[in-house]
Amino acid sequence: MKLFSTIIVLSFVFILTACAACTDPDIPGTLPPQPSQEKYTVKVRKVGNSQEWQALQVKTATVDKHNVRTSYFVQFDMTSAMEVMVTYGEKSIRKVNIRPTDKNIAYTQEGNSIYFNLDNPAYLSIEFNDDRFGNLQLFADKAAEEQVFPDTEGVMYLGPGEHGNSNDDIVWIPGNTTVYLDKDAILTYSLKIANVENVRVIGRGQIRQPKNHAIIVENSKHVEIDGITIVDPNGASILVGQTTDVTIRNLKSFSSIIWGDGINMRSSSDITIDNLYMRNSDDCIAIYASRQGSLGDSRNISVRNSVLWADNAHPINIGTHGDATRPGGDTIENLTFTNIDVLDHHELSPIYQGCFAVTCGDNNTVRKLLFEDFRVENIEEGKLFYFAVQQNTGEDNLVPGRTIEDVTIRNIFYNPEYPGRNKVGKSLVKGFDSERLTRDVTIENVIINGEKMVREDLEINEFVENLTVK
């Protein structure tokens, strides 16, 4: 069976190599022909170096399922401070926003070009004249320390160019394999990691417009995903089911379809997620218990140092799905979310609102949650947070959730960057009935437009116990 799997995988893999034309590790090598777009020109060079500017390839993605539009992004690695020049080719520049605003990126302007320095890697949205949808995303990563070479045992090396698959839209990855995507590699199929251990998907390339979820991880252990960009999948960017020990780092994700989640996890544990930029048309981060063939609890999941942008639904959603027929229900516990920038949240349906939300259904118990150090910049329509034991109608829940308990919300700052576009309802904390409570919730130092949140700012019902606001 192992030999058969190896033959199948090798039949799908094309090993391409290219000589890097650039000797400076901070500057991209020779670029393939750029797509026809005149909106942005982006160039970089080392700070303090008078060398000639090096052009970056401006790539496209579609965003916002309400009204699908084209957004743009560039990528480069850095080992020292870099100077960036962005030229805006459409209209005269009357306003520039570089977000997240806590990065405090100062710029100078000359005509239709802006200039700024980056001392450290960062993921940024550069918005000219209040255009949040045709914006430019800039992804500056720390240069990778690991070198991966073709013709290495256990390595699937995908070099520059487009990689399709005439036989299957999904390629299964065997255990003990590193899949490496060159920075100019584009995969148009999905990767499936199922019933295996020790798989890595790394590099700076793209998975672009696959016909399914971009990466599917099922019933596996010890999985790492690092550095890649996922553009317009027909589903979630990463789907994780009944899996343990997963690390996801330096991921960039775009989507524009219904059910276009960023990272969707169910019945999984021991997951570390760090340094993301998620621009999604459904939940950026979703954590459930049992769902669609994955069975069991979810626990020990951390998300940190990330930028989340939900053009629809939630930046973070927890608890909707579980096994309602399991005696005692499923449990989702020990979740931490720290140092998060929310660039936007837009959701019309009141029961699906919240920059971070627990929508506890299907007899689930959701407990031991920490939300700390959030900076929320825009809520086009929605709520800052939403915690409810509830039963959603339709296909979501057979029964209400069991309980939400032991929740800490600390150091959350909402200061709208586009105040005229914000329609914000009261944050909500509710239980379902006298047996299905929300309890032991601490809200500390939540600041909205410079004012500290007090109990009266919340929508609360009688099925909440031990709620502290300070």
Give the model's confidence band at 31: pLDDT under 50 very low, under 70 low, under 90 confident, else very high.
Answer: very low
Annotate 85-131 with DSSP letters as a single string.
EEEE-SS----EEEESGGG---EEEETTEEEEEESS-EEEEEEETT-
Contact between 321 and 287 (Cβ < 8 Å): no
Count CB-CB contacts under 10 A for residue 87: 16
Q: What is the mean pLDDT of residues 9-21?
A: 35
What is the structure's pLDDT at 66? 85
CA distance 252 to 308: 10
What is the helix, strand, coil percentage profile of the chain, to 5?
5, 50, 45
| Rama region for 137: left / alpha / beta (φ>0; ψ in -120 to 50; rest) | beta
**Interstrand relation of 427-430 and 458-460 (parallel, antiparallel or unpaired):** parallel
Distance of CA 361 to the CA centre of its chain: 24
Polymer length of the chain: 470
Summarised one tens digit per residue, pLDDT across range 431-465 is: 999 999 999 999 999 999 999 999 999 999 999 99
Annotate 250-308 with DSSP letters as a single string.
S-EEE--STT--SEEEES-EEEEEES-EEEESS-SEEEESSBTTB-S-EEEEEEEEEEE
Summarised one tens digit per residue, pLDDT across range 334-391 is: 999 999 999 999 999 898 899 999 999 999 999 999 999 999 999 999 999 999 999 9
CA distance 340 to 80: 25
SS3 state of residue 33 = coil
Summarised one tens digit per residue, pLDDT across range 172-219 is: 999 999 999 999 999 999 999 999 999 999 999 999 999 999 999 999
pLDDT at 10 over 60: no
* In the block, residue with structure tokens 């579980």: 322
Cβ neighbors of 36 (< 8 A, separation 6 or more) are none
CA distance 307 to 315: 9
Give the phi and the psi of residue 207 in degrees, each rounded to 5.
Answer: -105, 115
What is the structure's pLDDT at 27? 37
Cα–Cα nearest to 362, from 390, 386, 382: 390
What is the structure's pLDDT at 166? 65
Strands across the sheet containing 82-88: 54-55, 40-46, 82-88, 113-118, 107-110
Cβ neighbors of 165 (< 8 A, separation 6 or more) are 12, 171, 188, 189
Residue 223 per-residue DSSP state:
E
CA distance 431 to 98: 39
What type of residue is 319? G
Q: What is the mean pLDDT of residues 234-254?
A: 99
CA distance 237 to 28: 26
**Interstrand relation of 113-118 and 107-110 (parallel, antiparallel or unpaired):** antiparallel
pLDDT at 5 over 50: no
* Furthest CA-CA distance within the chain: 70
Give the phi and the psi of residue 5 in degrees, each rounded to 5.
Answer: -60, -40
* In the block, residue with structure tokens 């160019």: 161
Joined together, the tokens standing for residue 227 give: 């550095």
SS3 state of residue 12 = helix
Q: Across all residues in the chain, what is the average pLDDT?
A: 92
User: Whole-model pTM?
Assistant: 0.92
CA distance 371 to 355: 11
Count CB-CB contacts under 10 A for residue 462: 10
Q: What is the mean pLDDT of residues 53-66?
A: 95
Contact between 464 and 441 (Cβ < 8 Å): yes
Task: Name the helix (H) or strand (E) containing 6.
Answer: helix 2-12
Cβ neighbors of 166 (< 8 A, separation 6 or more) are none
Strands across the sheet containing 136-142: 59-63, 69-78, 136-142, 122-128, 96-99
The angle subtended at Cα 204 by Cα 261 and Cα 146, nearest 5°, is: 125
Cα–Cα nearest to 170, from 235, 219, 225: 235
416 prior amide bond cis, ω within 30: no
pLDDT at 313 over 60: yes
What is the structure's pLDDT at 392? 87
In the chain, the percentage of residues whose pLDDT exceeds 90 is 83
What is the structure's pLDDT at 410? 99
Higher-pLDDT residue of 114, 395: 114
Q: First CA to last CA across the chain, in angstroms?
A: 60
Give the model's confidence band at 417: pLDDT under 50 very low, under 70 low, under 90 confident, else very high.
Answer: confident
What is the structure's pLDDT at 21? 28
Q: What is the mean pLDDT of residues 273-301?
A: 98
Distance of CA 406 to the CA centre of its chain: 26
The angle subtended at Cα 241 by Cα 237 and Cα 247, nearest 5°, is: 65
